[in-house]
Amino acid sequence: MSQPTPGARPVTPPPGAPAPELVVATVRGHAGKLIWSALLLIVVAGAVGYLLGNLPAPFEDWMLLAAAGALVLLGVVLPYLVWLSRTYTITTRRVIARRGLLARTRTELSHARGYTIATRRGILQRMRGTGTLTLSDGVEGQLVLRDVPGPGLVGEVLADHVEMNQILAHRDSQGFSFGAASAVAP
């Protein structure tokens, strides 16, 4: 992470001008849960390689291949698609959580409203370098970001964006006009 230069301020839009929404980061939960899928794929491939052509009399090779295909579909492909379908996007204005394969669910939480950030890290999460962030605004409920890599850094980024958005919202609500304040009559 780069350190800010001394005296440098973040670039902010002029008062009253809309700030563009930029994507800061898009993350997924840690893929550690897919280790069981990878092991299942290895076991199924080894079993099919060993048993193909060596099955007892009442069984045929197509039965073995059909069972292996069903196991791979349910135990490897489906968990991978579920993992792939859950994303967390952090922008300069909000946090967006998307999940779902067939029916998509999208939850948003605005930085300008402000929210608390709680971090929880279990033993396995600490070993993997992940954590669960719970964002709560106290009104609409909670947004839970599960198994986020680098939860400390993500939490800091979220806190910075909340602070910046609240400052900009306050500044714009006050209606500051910098041109009138600098024109002082002698």
Domain ranges of the chain: 22-174
Q: Which residues contact 89 (CB under 8 A, 6 or more apart)?
A: 23, 25, 26, 95, 96, 97, 98
* pLDDT band, very low/low/confident/very high, at 177 (cuts 50, 70, 90): low
3-class state of residue 11 by DSSP = coil
Q: Whole-angstrom Cα distance, residue 159 to residue 164?
A: 9
Provide the pLDDT for residue 183.
45
Summarised one tens digit per residue, pLDDT across range 106-139 is 999 999 888 999 999 999 999 999 999 999 988 8
pLDDT at residue 1 tops 90? no
The alpha carbons of the chain give a radius of gyration, in whole angstroms, of 25
38: nearest Cα among 86, 87, 72: 72
Query: What are 143's two structure tokens?
Result: 């947004």
125, burial (CB in 10 Å: exposed 0-12, middle 13-18, buried 19+): buried
| CATH top class, domain 22-174 | mainly beta
Provide the pLDDT for residue 56.
85
pLDDT at residue 184 tops 50? no
Summarised one tens digit per residue, pLDDT across range 134-166 is 999 888 779 999 999 999 999 999 999 999 888
